[in-house]
Amino acid sequence: MIRFILLQNRQGKTRLAKYYVPLEESEKHKVEYEVHRLVVNRDPKFTNFVEFRTHKVIYRRYAGLFFSMCVDITDNELAYLECIHLFVEILDHFFSNVCELDLVFNFNKVYLILDEFILAGELQETSKKVRFLLKFY
């Protein structure tokens, strides 16, 4: 199960944070800070998986943006790596050539897309077609 999803830029600004487990606000900020610290300094040759407390973080970097998912220790890392990529592809389709600014100005849409993609910490839809997103605007 996915515990949380974070979208952060290299400076550590959180562009999207979705928690599927309840956390205190202060704890959330701490988690965001720690995850950023963990992933930002890793060599690109290294694995995309980092152990984080009792879970693990699967991250992937797209330009200056880090997509991180915190999942259970027994989950399939490679599958979540693919999952991140699918999410990025969907965003790319929707915004046609997505960039960080799109995500900043349309943060509410990003959340809505994410809600159509992942629900209750589980994958909901694997179709790449943006058809199911068209009802938004």
Partner 1 sequence: MNPFSSGTRLRDMIRAIRTCKTAAEERAVVRKECAAIRAAVSDNDQEYRHRNLAKLMFIHMLGYPTHFGQMECLKLIASSGFPEKRIGYLGLMLLLDERQEVLMLVTNSLKQDLNHSNQYIVGLALCALGNICSAEMARDLAPEVERLLQSRDPNIKKKAALCSIRIIRKVPDLSENFMSPAAALLKEKHHGVLITGVQLCTDLCKASPEALEYLRKNCTEGSVRILKDISNSSYAPEYDISGIADPFLHIRVLKLMRMLGQGDADASDSINDILAQVATKIESNKNAGNAILYECVETIMGIEATSGLRILAINILGRFLSNRDNNIRYVALNMLMRSVVVDSQAMQRHRATILECVKDSDASIRKRALELVCLLVNDTNVKPLTKELIDYLEVSEEEFKGDLTEKICSIVERFSTEKLWYIDQMLKILSEAGSHVKDEVWHSLIVVISNAADLQGYTVRSLYKALQTSSSQIGLARVALWCIGEYGEMLVNGACMLAAEEPVTVTESDAVDIVEVALKCHSSDITTRAMSLIALLKLSSRFPPTSERITELIMQNKGNLELELQQRSIEFSNIILKHKNIKTSLVERMPVLDESTYMGRKEVSSQDVPAVKTSKTAPSEALLNLPNGVKKPPAVYMGDLLDLSSDDVPATKPSTNDFLQDLLGDLAVPVSSGAPLSGGSDILMDLLSIGSPIQNDSSLSNSVSTGAVNSSAVSSLASLSSLTSPSISVSPEASIVDPLRGMDQIKRQPPSTAPIVDLMDGLSNHVVSVAGSEKLDFLPITAFENNSLKTVFSFTKFPGRPQVTQIKATFTNKSLNSYTDFIFQAAVPKVH
- Write out the residues near partner 1 by the rule CB under 8 A: 14-17, 19-20, 22-23, 29, 43, 45-51, 76-79, 81-83, 86, 104-105, 107-108, 111-112, 115, 119-120, 122-129, 132, 135
Q: Closest distance between partner 1 and the C-beta of residue 97, in Å?
A: 19
Q: Closest distance between partner 1 and the C-beta of residue 79, in Å?
A: 5
Q: Closest distance between partner 1 and the C-beta of residue 63, in Å?
A: 18
Spatial distance between the Cα atoms of 137 and 94, rounded to a whole number of angstroms: 11
Spatial distance between the Cα atoms of 10 and 40, rounded to a whole number of angstroms: 7
Calculate ∠ Cα 76-82-83, nearest 5°. Answer: 85
Residue with smaller CB distance to partner 1, 30 or 63: 30
Residue with smaller CB distance to partner 1, 22 or 97: 22
Phi, then psi, of 29 in degrees rounded to 5? -65, -40
Q: Which amino acid is at 42?
A: R
